[in-house]
Amino acid sequence: MRPLEYKDGILKLIDQTKLPSEYKVVDCATYMEVADAIRDMIVRGAPAIGVSAAYGVAIGALSARDGSKEEFFCELDEICNVLRGTRPTAVNLFWAIDRVYRKALDNRDRSVSEIKDIIAQEACNMDCEDVETNKAIGMHGNKLIKNNYTILTHCNAGALATCDYGTALSVMRMAHSEGKNIRVIADETRPYLQGARLTAWELKQDGIPVTLICDNMAGHFMKLGKIDCVIVGADRIAVNGDTANKIGTYSVAVLAKENNIPFYVAAPVSTIDFSMQTGDSIPIEERSREEVTHIKGIPVAPEGIDVMNPAFDVTPSRYITAIITEKGIAYPPFEKNLKDME
Ligand code: MRU
């Protein structure tokens, strides 16, 4: 299942705000529409927003005004800046924009029309690479999964969050396709309900056994011995292994440690921010108060109540058993073992 598809200057996105009650595809024909789709979470998940942003740069570049090369690069800067301003936490967004921009710069001796094609081609390359990366994450992670495992996950690190397969969910897909009897426990993931709306939907489509729980039930099931391991995705991993992921991940990690349950992070190397030494400097997105006070437009809290809505938290690396990447599984000490993957 692919949440995004690019053809002839149009980026088609499955509208993830509508799932699972409605399956709708949105067309983005301008880079501004791509930026809005990322900001409004029509497309979400670190790898998916990265590749969408790369396509956004390509779409913007294609419609750049005819002019000199200097004017073209000025416009390209503006397009990249708009896309960079959409969501602050997932490093894949910045990584992807920087990669296509660098590709354009490396080819600045070519004609503007050639540079436009090169940008579009680079975005397509990143799309294909992401699919292969996720398959490799699934292959490596599968080694950690035994028959009859029950795996808890938080948020959606599935096909919908990437260009296909997912990161955490790729591990589950691989184990299931190998004939291992596994069950996934999906945290609903308040306030945006990525677990209930997206992970549960995605796994059900694939016939992978999945049980939905409210976020506050995870500790209960861990204490009862019902969870064998936790696998989550990541939005940004610091050099020391500290990991930003969907709000609530930290609580799950602490509960897992208390109950001696392995806690794994599955993410591509592009999610590691090699410029950030610890998770303390990872910017945390604050989203709208309505995500907390309303569910599907219906108020669930008193009008005017004070609200805090950080979209992510940072799990210190001491809670993380291992980080599963396309290049293999990194164990502590992460400073050394993640660096080897650069
Ligand atoms: O706010 P979202 O839905 O974009 O957050 C997504 C997550 O936190 C995912 O776990 C993360 O991006 C990894 S996706 C493979």
Confidence of residue 329 (pLDDT cuts 50, 70, 90): very high
* Share above pLDDT 70 across residues of the chain, in percent, rounded to a whole number: 100
Is residue 203 domain-shared with residue 317, that is, in the same domain?
yes
- The Å distance, Cα 161 to ligand 1 centre, comes to 6
DSSP state of 308: -
The response to whether residue 59 sits with its C-beta less than 6 Å from ligand 1 reads no
255-284 pLDDT, tens digit per residue, is 999 999 999 999 999 999 999 999 999 999
Distance from C-alpha of 73 to C-alpha of 259, rounded to nearest angstrom: 54
Considering the domain architecture, whether residues 140 and 130 belong to the same structural domain is answered as no
- Whole-number Å distance, alpha carbon 52 to ligand 1 midpoint, is 14
The catalytic residues are: 235
Query: Domain with 209 in it: what CATH number?
Result: 3.40.50.10470
Q: Is 155 in the pocket of ligand 1 (CB under 6 A)?
A: yes
The answer, yes or no, to whether residue 333 has pLDDT greater than 90, is yes
Ligand 1 neighbourhood includes 162 CB (under 6 angstroms):
yes
Mean local confidence (pLDDT), 303-309: 98
Q: Strand ranges (DSSP E) for the chain?
A: 4-7, 10-14, 25-28, 150-153, 183-187, 210-213, 229-232, 236-237, 243-246, 263-266, 294-295, 298-299, 312-315, 322-325, 328-330
296: pLDDT confidence band, cut at 50, 70 and 90?
A: confident
Question: Residue 65 CB: number of other CB atoms within 10 A?
Answer: 7
Q: Which of 134, 169, 202 is the last residue of a domain?
A: 134
Q: Which amino acid is at 229?
A: C
Report how far ligand 1's centroid is from the alpha carbon of 171 (Å).
16
Mutate to test the pocket of ligand 1, among 199, 235, 236, 252 (most ligand atoms within 8 A of CB): 235
Are residue 126 and residue 140 in the same domain, yes or no?
no
Residue nearest to atom 5 of ligand 1 (CA): 45
Mean pLDDT of 35-45: 98
Task: Judge if 122 and 192 occupy the same domain.
Answer: no
pLDDT, average across residues 149-162 = 98
**180 assigned binding-site residue:** no
Q: Could you tell me if 193 and 307 lie in one domain?
A: yes
Which atom of ligand 1 lies at the shortest distance from residue 49's CA? 4
- Is the previous residue joined to 332 through a cis bond, with omega within 30 degrees of 0? no
* Whether the CB of 245 sits within 6 Å of ligand 1: yes
- Cα angle at 110 between 106 and 116, to 5 degrees? 80
**Backbone torsions φ then ψ of 302, nearest 5 degrees:** -65, 145
Q: Which of 156, 172, 288 to mutate to test ligand 1, by most ligand atoms within 8 A of the CB atom?
A: 156
- For the cut 90, the answer to whether the pLDDT of residue 327 exceeds it is yes
Q: 210 φ, ψ to 5°?
A: -140, 140
Q: Are strands 183-187 and 322-325 parallel, antiparallel or unpaired?
A: unpaired
Domain end residue (candidates: 134, 165, 197): 134
State pLDDT tens for residues 113-137.
999 999 999 999 999 999 999 999 9
> Domain total for the chain?
2
Q: Which residue, by CA, sits nearest to atom 8 of ligand 1? A: 246
My answer on whether 129 and 154 are in the same domain is no
Domain of residue 92 covers 4-134
pLDDT at 66 over 90: no
**Which residue type does 167 have?**
T
What's the pTM value of the predicted model, to 2 decimals?
Answer: 0.97
Asked if residue 65 has pLDDT above 90, the reply is no
Mean pLDDT over the full length of the chain? 98
Percent of the chain with pLDDT over 90: 99
Residues 197 and 314 in one domain: yes
pLDDT at 213 over 90: yes
Number of residues that make up the chain: 342
Residue 44, annotated as binding a ligand: yes
User: Does residue 246 have its Cβ closer than 6 Å to ligand 1?
Assistant: yes
Determine whether the shortest distance from the Cβ of 161 to ligand 1 is under 6 A: yes
Looking at residues 187-202, what average pLDDT do you find?
A: 98
Phi, psi of 179 (to 5 degrees): 90, 10
Beta carbons within 8 Å of 74's beta carbon, 6+ residues apart: none
The whole-number average pLDDT for the span 169-180 is 98
* Cα angle for residues 51, 53, 54 (degrees, 5° grid): 65
Asked if residue 183 belongs to a known ligand binding site, the reply is no
